[in-house]
Each structure stands twice: as structure tokens, then as C-alpha cells.
């Protein structure tokens, strides 16, 4: 690609950003779609977020992704925010508009698109969420929106899980989310089978040997496990789910599709399934992995 006076720039703001895989996604899309657009990471030190957003707009940047620790902190510096992102309380994509950026959350639509592609349904499911942080809260909102029958939020701190459950129930207008101390998983209905979403950073590289729950009895209750971590490509959570006879998927497709959706918002170009599959292959190559640990072919 030739960079010239017409080249548009998008990027990623966060701290740190050196590990990011997002340039692989967006620069591959630009290359294949012949869009005159480049994507670069920008490390933003603490205390400089407002200046970074204003500076990006002043420099005519077309759009930005936002990663930790700024997904919630960036909201006060936006001109507008998409209703879904406002409900979730986190923004990971900024789209240039007249007078400032509009914030979107493409993480949850990306997760949903990945789950659909993997044949993982939500409607009518009983779902376990491990964790009660910002990601778990966003997942719970998505599950409620897509028709889950019941959502059980398991967390070491019960108070945090209760807060998430109450928020979800308030928005849903019905009682479908419940909180449970992590150590009480033995109280789950005997013989029950759940979709489980691992929404913590436990098991993330370099601590790949860690898992939130060791007991194999827990995994016998899981028919499908979704770990939002994408590095390693197969976590111990996934291994335990599969060892107990369930299906297991990692977060690499979520990473792919959150980026694809952001790119579509910036450019107005629709990314087809064949191109998305090509970008997915580039991601795996960049990470030095073959097929990811799930039964089919997680952050920025």
C-alpha cells in the first residue's frame, strides 16, 4: 500500500499497547479492500487520555479503538455515545463525527457474531458467567438482550456479582440474573447443563496454567464453554470443558469480529465472510498458532 496525502489513519489508544494484534486485523482489511487507510497503536500514559482524544480529532484521525484501562474512562470525552455502549458502560471504538467522536462497543456484537459462527446459541439457555468485572457485566447485558433464560454470575466477591445481577435485572425488567459466590458452584442444579462464559483474565498468558475452578465436577455441568481469553489459544478452562465432554471455544474470533465491526463503522464497507476468514488466518499466523483450541476453525 502506498501512503500519501490522502491516507486516513485509525489507531488504538491504551496502556500498554505493544502486545496488540489489532494492526493485523485492520491493515489486512485495508490491504485486501484497497482502502487508503493505515492503523497504528498509540500508548497513552495515565492522565493524558483527554488530550489524546482531542489530539486525535485535531489530527483528523478517522477513528480509534480503545483498550485497557480506558474503555470507561474515555466516555466523558466523547461528543456522543451509542445506546448499547452507554448501557454496557464501556466504549472500545471511536467514530469521527462533526465536532468530536461517537463511542461504540463492538466487543459484545463481536462476541455474538463469533458465537453465532461457532453454532453457540443464547436464546433459552441457562448461562454461567465466571467473574463480575466490566467484561462480565457486558456479557450479562448481551445474554439478557439475546434471550437467555437464566444468568448465574459466579464471583469471589459476592457483592460485585449482586451489583451486576441487579443492573441486568433492572434493564431487562425481569428477574433472570442471580449472584452466587464462586465457591458455591456445588449448589448448581444436579444434572443441569449450562453454557459457561469465562470472563476473567485467569489463565491469560503468561499465566496459562491457571484456572478459576479446578474441580472437574464443575465442568461436567458445562455443555459449552466460551473463554474470552485469546492468548493462549487453548486455556486450561477450555481443556477442562473438553475433557468433561463439552465444546470449548476461545476469544480469538471475538477479537476478530470486534475489529471487523469497528472497521465497518469507520469505512462504511461491509466485510464478507471469506475476507473475515482470511484475516482470522493472519491473526493465527501472527500469534504462531495453528487451529485454535475450540471445535471450529478476547480485548484489542
Active-site amino acid positions = 71
Say if residues 259 and 26 touch (Cβ distance below 8 Å).
Answer: yes
Angle between helices 252-267 and 273-287 (to 10 degrees): 130
Length of the chain: 300
Residue 275 makes CB contacts below 8 A (sequence gap 6+) with 29, 32, 33
Residue 177 makes CB contacts below 8 A (sequence gap 6+) with 140, 144, 150, 151, 152, 153, 164, 165, 166, 168, 169
Compute the distance between CA of residue 213 and CA of residue 190 in angstroms, rounded to an integer.
18
Sign of the alpha-carbon torsion through 178, 183, 187, 188: positive
Question: Where are the alpha helices (H) located in the chain, listed in sequence order?
Answer: 22-33, 49-58, 83-88, 107-117, 134-145, 158-172, 216-219, 236-243, 252-267, 273-287
C-alpha cell at 217: 465436577
Compute the distance between CA of residue 182 and CA of residue 155 in angstroms, rounded to an integer.
5
Residue 103 to residues 20, 65, 85, 100, 265: CA-CA distances in angstroms?
20, 9, 7, 10, 11
Compute the distance between CA of residue 230 and CA of residue 203 in angstroms, rounded to an integer.
10
Say if residues 67 and 300 touch (Cβ distance below 8 Å).
Answer: yes
Listing from the earlier edge strand, what are the strands of the sheet with 80-81?
37-43, 8-14, 63-66, 93-97, 100-104, 80-81
Amino acid at each position: 500500500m502506498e501512503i500519501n496525502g490522502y491516507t486516513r489513519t485509525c489507531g488504538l489508544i491504551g496502556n500498554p499497547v505493544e502486545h496488540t494484534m489489532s494492526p493485523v486485523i485492520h491493515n489486512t482489511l485495508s490491504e485486501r479492500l484497497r482502502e487508503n487507510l493505515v492503523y497504528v497503536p498509540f500508548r497513552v500514559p495515565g492522565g493524558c487520555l483527554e488530550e489524546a482524544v482531542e489530539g486525535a480529532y485535531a489530527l483528523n484521525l478517522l477513528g480509534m479503538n480503545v483498550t485497557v484501562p480506558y474503555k470507561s474512562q474515555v466516555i466523558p470525552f466523547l461528543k456522543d455515545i451509542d445506546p448499547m455502549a452507554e448501557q454496557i458502560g464501556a466504549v472500545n471504538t471511536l467514530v469521527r463525527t462533526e465536532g468530536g467522536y461517537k463511542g461504540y462497543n463492538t466487543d459484545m456484537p463481536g462476541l455474538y457474531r463469533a458465537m453465532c459462527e461457532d453454532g453457540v446459541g443464547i436464546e433459552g439457555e441457562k448461562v454461567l458467567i465466571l467473574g463480575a468485572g466490566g467484561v462480565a457485566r457486558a456479557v450479562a447485558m448481551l445474554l439478557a438482550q439475546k434471550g437467555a433464560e437464566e444468568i448465574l454470575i459466579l464471583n469471589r466477591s459476592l457483592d460485585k456479582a449482586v451489583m451486576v445481577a441487579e443492573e441486568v435485572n433492572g434493564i431487562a425488567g425481569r428477574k433472570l440474573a442471580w449472584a452466587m459466590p464462586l465457591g458455591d458452584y456445588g449448589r448448581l442444579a444436579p444434572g443441569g447443563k449450562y453454557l459457561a462464559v469465562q470472563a476473567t483474565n485467569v489463565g491469560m498468558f503468561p499465566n496459562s496454567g491457571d484456572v478459576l475452578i479446578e474441580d472437574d465436577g464443575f465442568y461436567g455441568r458445562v455443555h459449552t464453554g466460551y473463554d474470552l481469553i485469546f492468548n493462549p489459544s487453548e486455556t486450561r478452562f477450555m481443556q477442562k470443558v473438553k475433557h468433561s465432554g463439552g465444546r470449548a471455544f476461545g476469544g480469538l474470533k471475538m477479537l476478530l469480529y470486534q475489529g471487523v465491526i469497528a472497521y465497518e463503522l469507520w469505512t462504511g464497507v461491509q466485510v464478507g465472510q471469506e475476507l473475515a476468514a482470511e484475516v482470522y488466518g493472519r491473526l493465527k499466523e501472527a500469534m504462531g498458532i495453528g487451529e485454535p483450541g475450540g471445535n471450529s476453525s478476547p480485548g484489542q
